[in-house]
Amino acid sequence: MPKVFIKTYGCQMNERDSEQVATMFIDGGYTMTDREHEADVILINTCSVREKAELKALGKMGLLTRRPEAKPHVVYGFMGCMAQSKGDELFRALPRLDLVIGTQKYHHIFRYVDDILRKRLERRMDDLSLSLAGSSVCDTDEETGSQNAIRDHLAQTGHSSAFVSIMQGCEMRCSYCIVPSTRGAERSRPMQDIIDEVESLVRQGIKEVTLLGQIVNRYGKDEPAVDGKSAFVRLLEQLNGIDGLERIRFTSPHPIGFREDLVNAYRYLSKLCSHIHFPMQSGSDRILKLMRRPYKNEKYISLCESMREARPDLAITTDIIVGFPGETEEDYLETKRAVERIGFDNAFIFQYSPRKDTPAAAMDGQLPQSVKEARNQDLLATVNAIAIEKNAALVGTEQLILVEGPSKTNADRLSGRTPQNKPVIIEGGSELIGKIVPVRITESTGFTLYGEIAPC
Ligand code: SAH
Ligand code: SF4
Ligand code: F3S
């Protein structure tokens, strides 16, 4: 049975897409391996959102294709956002590469790979040099309906949580972002397909789903509202009604189209978790405008306040870009003040990275690396101080945690998450995995919480 190794960079959507590709190989009689040296097929699912992400994937493929001990029949492929963005120029950088597959073509990867591998293995006995010639494939075309192909899950025993892709693409064209060109136009899946997928996951023991989309709250944006409720809120309501499903999360929402109906959902949807990852990007209206983000900072803050009013224990995390072209010290300080005012539970801080064919890459006022680095470090200190304070405030409280499995740092302990998405380490046996248990938080070491099972 041929073995496939998939390395995934980038966001949760990429993780989900890799899972879909893995299911297709398993259905085709292959097995998955996490040991690259024993693989017959090596696929790297790539991200282009920042230059660093691209360099990591290119470096990894360079190392893998140049291993002297690699078997000559091994098939190497890039898929995902960098594959979409760079296309066949990747073959010039990496002559041993066989496949470059874009973001609307995942469901064809198995067929392409299997075809190349079979031919190579058949020819191997005759002429090895022949086997490598003329077999490369580059497929980065658009494909209608491709969003509906991300729907199968690996049967993973002991897993309690799953990602569900509900829409693909983005039409916002934020001036710094490559995603609209790598992921294409916004396309939503039919609601019934998503409900069927979640019901099937629940039958397999899944308790928590995270709905994925580049702007997840724009799901079904062309459908008319029903009783003042968007398609996204109606989908949340449907999922909330599924017996056996305990927790619903989604990522990432955008202030555009974030209306009262979604804020209200936090009042009456009991399975909707008390956490939202809500990218702010900047606290300066001047920079938001240059970024082509269609909101002002006050609007963003008022949305956070309304959500907290609807769900008082809501944890809010965010994405922030520092060092955008033309960002002055005062613009940066406005971001820092917004961070302090909102009090995020955590934040990802990114240094602006110029991306191919995006308007911001050609803007005046590109900032030196040293300024980006200094703002990143300064903001990180602020974010961390608030995060640590928020975690410390949880000591002594009781939280329901969904136990995910053995802790990564100590396999004798278990790790789980609160509805606020905070990781908690507890003592306990493997019978607790996949269960939701009440836990008293006993200690916080900054970013990690420790707890013990609360007596009934
Ligand atoms: N669709 C989501 C974000 C997806 S990209 C949204 O709009 O909210 C994930 C994050 O990467 C973004 O939120 C942004 O903070 C960051 N990002 C995107 N392009 C970037 C760039 N060119 N440089 C640095 N960070 C970037
Ligand atoms: Fe990129 Fe903006 Fe679309 Fe998010 S909304 S994926 S940041 S273009
Ligand atoms: Fe990266 Fe593509 Fe996700 S660029 S962040 S992998 S949508």
SS3 call for 435: coil
Ligand number nearest CA of 102 is 3
- What is the reported pLDDT for 298? 98
Ligand 2 centre distance from Cα of residue 349 (Å) = 15
Ligand 2 centre distance from Cα of residue 218 (Å) = 12
Q: Is 81 annotated as a binding residue?
A: yes
| 218 confidence band (pLDDT: 50, 70, 90) | very high
- What is the reported pLDDT for 134? 57
Whether residue 178 has its Cβ less than 6 Å from ligand 2: no
Ligand number nearest CA of 46 is 3
Sign of CA dihedral 184, 186, 191, 194: positive
Q: Is 174 annotated as a binding residue?
A: yes
Taking only the tens place, the pLDDT of each residue in 133-169 is 557 999 999 999 999 999 989 988 778 999 999 999 9
Q: At what angle do helices 12-27 and 109-123 cross, to 10 degrees?
A: 50
46, 82 in Cβ contact below 8 A? Answer: yes
29, 160 in Cβ contact below 8 A? Answer: no
- The class of domain 155-273 in CATH terms is alpha beta
Can you read off the two tokens belonging to residue 226?
């029903």
Whether residue 170 has its Cβ less than 6 Å from ligand 2: yes
| 447 confidence band (pLDDT: 50, 70, 90) | confident
Ligand 2 centre distance from Cα of residue 169 (Å) = 9
Taking only the tens place, the pLDDT of each residue in 51-76 is 999 999 999 999 999 998 889 999 99
Distance (Å, whole) CA 53 – CA 50: 6
Ligand 3 centre distance from Cα of residue 327 (Å) = 24
pTM confidence score: 0.96
Work out the percent of the chain whose per-residue pLDDT is above 70. 97
Nearest CA to ligand 3 atom 7: 179
CATH number of this structure's domain 3-139, picked from the four choices 3.10.180.10, 3.40.50.10680, 3.40.50.12160, 3.40.50.300: 3.40.50.12160
Ligand 3 centre distance from Cα of residue 91 (Å) = 21
Which of 215, 256, 281, 293 is the best mutation target for the ligand 2 pocket, counting ligand atoms within 8 Å of the beta carbon and taking the most?
A: 215
Which of 7, 13, 103 is the best mutation target for the ligand 3 pocket, counting ligand atoms within 8 Å of the beta carbon and taking the most?
A: 13
Q: Which of 194-208, 371-385, 442-456 has the lowest mean pLDDT?
A: 442-456
Residues 400-419: what's their mean pLDDT?
Answer: 93
Taking only the tens place, the pLDDT of each residue in 77-135 is 999 999 999 999 999 999 999 999 999 999 999 999 999 999 999 876 555 554 455 57
- What is the reported pLDDT for 62? 96
The full set of domain ranges for the chain reads 3-139, 155-273, 276-392, 398-453
Going by C-alpha positions, the residue among 226, 205, 164, 182 that lies closest to residue 80 is 182
Rounded to the nearest integer, the mean pLDDT of the chain is: 95
- Do 155-273 and 276-392 fold alike per CATH? yes
Ligand 1 centre distance from Cα of residue 173 (Å) = 11
Work out the percent of the chain whose per-residue pLDDT is above 90. 92
Neighbour-count burial of 186, counting CB atoms closer than 10 A to its CB (0-12 exposed, 13-18 middle, 19+ buried): buried
Task: Kindly tell me if the per-residue pLDDT of 335 is higher than 80.
Answer: yes
Ligand number nearest CA of 322 is 1
Distance (Å, whole) CA 206 – CA 204: 6
Which of 48, 52, 86, 216 is the best mutation target for the ligand 3 pocket, counting ligand atoms within 8 Å of the beta carbon and taking the most?
A: 48
Q: How many CB atoms lie within 10 A of CB 38?
A: 10
- Give the binding-site residues of ligand 3, using a 6 Å CB cut-off: 10-11, 13-14, 47-49, 80-81, 178-179, 182-183
Ligand 2 atom closest to 178 (CA): 1
Q: Is 11 annotated as a binding residue?
A: yes
276-392 CATH: 3.30.750.200
Q: Is 273 annotated as a binding residue?
A: no
Distance (Å, whole) CA 456 – CA 446: 28
Ligand 2 centre distance from Cα of residue 419 (Å) = 26
Query: Fold for domain 398-453?
Result: OB fold (Dihydrolipoamide Acetyltransferase, E2P) (2.40.50)
Task: Kindly tell me if the per-residue pLDDT of 330 is higher than 90.
Answer: yes
Ligand 1 centre distance from Cα of residue 33 (Å) = 31
| Strand order, beta sheet including 247-251 | 161-165, 208-212, 247-251
* DSSP per position, 184-241: -S-EE--HHHHHHHHHHHHHTT--EEEEE-TTGGGTTTTSPPBTTB-HHHHHHHHHHT
Whether residue 428 has its Cβ less than 6 Å from ligand 2: no
Distance (Å, whole) CA 94 – CA 373: 31
Nearest CA to ligand 1 atom 19: 177
Ligand 2 centre distance from Cα of residue 225 (Å) = 24
